[in-house]
Amino acid sequence: MLTIASVNVNGIRAAHRRGMPAWLAERRPDIVCLQEVRATDAVLCEILGDGWALAHSEPTIDGHAGRAGVAVASRLPITAVRDDVGAPRFAGAGRWVEADVDTHAGRDSSPSAPLTVVSVYVHTGEAETPRQEEKYAFLAAMQARMEQLRSDGRHVLVCGDVNVAHREADLRNWKGNLKKSGFLPGERAVLDRWFGELGWVDVVRSLAGEGPGPYSWWSWRGRAFDNDTGWRIDYQIASLGFAERAVKAAVDRAPSYAERWSDHAPVVVDYDR
């Protein structure tokens, strides 16, 4: 099996202090996609330790430093790295990084289509503000780049915090969020197109059934976590050929509030190699 995990760490230093290393040691993913890294290459490498190939995009433009950053860390060799989502306005935003991963390293079997793994962190947005327009622009750029990657026959897996709950089953309090960013009709329509007309696969939903949940984000405030008042906004989105290899999905929800090391939980999928 090829185990791929994705998690918004909400700051890699804080996640490390709160207990991420124990999860990493127990889960032992082959590939882990990280969002909101908020650290340099050197810090990230030091925290992850030896044995990882790394693709990391740090934010370098005003307004993003210290609150973004995405990475793909792989136990398998990474043969190429790119961080251009295709729209100049997002260059240096630290919200998109691609890694071509050699999934056949050390194996005798003939290589199949190459695999590109993406870690993405979509803007939070805010309804009826320029921040929301920025979010829509990023989603449009993201869609175009996904289609471009898939066009040459490679397998594509896009992992990360998309900051959109697709359906009512993807958040507990959907009635109270109909006019809020993250559950707006326009945002949901984007995902409708991805998982419908364009043929991308929401891997966790395809394996988990109709829901509700499994949720992947809960506010730090109040009793949202204890009451499981969550959102499913973290995805593994696959091209069809790679999605067909998915055999098991889980959200590694912490046993208790005190044991959380991020406000997000890791989304983990096992794929047949």
pLDDT tens, position by position, 40-76:
999 999 999 999 999 999 999 866 667 799 999 999 9
Say if residue 107's pLDDT is above 80.
Answer: no
Say if residue 110's pLDDT is above 60.
Answer: no
Kindly indicate the confidence band of residue 113, based on its pLDDT and cuts at 50, 70 and 90. confident
pTM score: 0.95
Ordered by start, the domain boundaries in the chain are 2-271
Mean pLDDT (whole number) for 163-177: 97
Q: Give the per-residue pLDDT at 251.
A: 98
Say if residue 106's pLDDT is above 80.
Answer: no
Say if residue 111's pLDDT is above 70.
Answer: no
Q: Give the per-residue pLDDT at 16.
A: 97
Mean pLDDT (whole number) for 116-133: 97
Q: Name the average pLDDT for the chain.
A: 95
**Per annotation, catalytic residue among 161, 170, 234, 263:** 161
Kindly indicate the confidence band of residue 104, based on its pLDDT and cuts at 50, 70 and 90. confident
Q: Give the per-residue pLDDT at 65.
A: 62
Question: Is 263 known to be catalytic?
Answer: no
Mean pLDDT (whole number) for 27-50: 96
Q: Give the per-residue pLDDT at 217.
A: 98
Say if residue 220's pLDDT is above 60.
Answer: yes
State pLDDT tens for residues 223-270.
999 999 999 999 999 999 999 999 999 999 999 999 999 999 999 999
Beta pairing class for 31-35 and 234-238: unpaired
Mean pLDDT (whole number) for 148-152: 96
Q: Which CATH superfamily is domain 2-271 in?
A: Endonuclease/exonuclease/phosphatase (3.60.10.10)
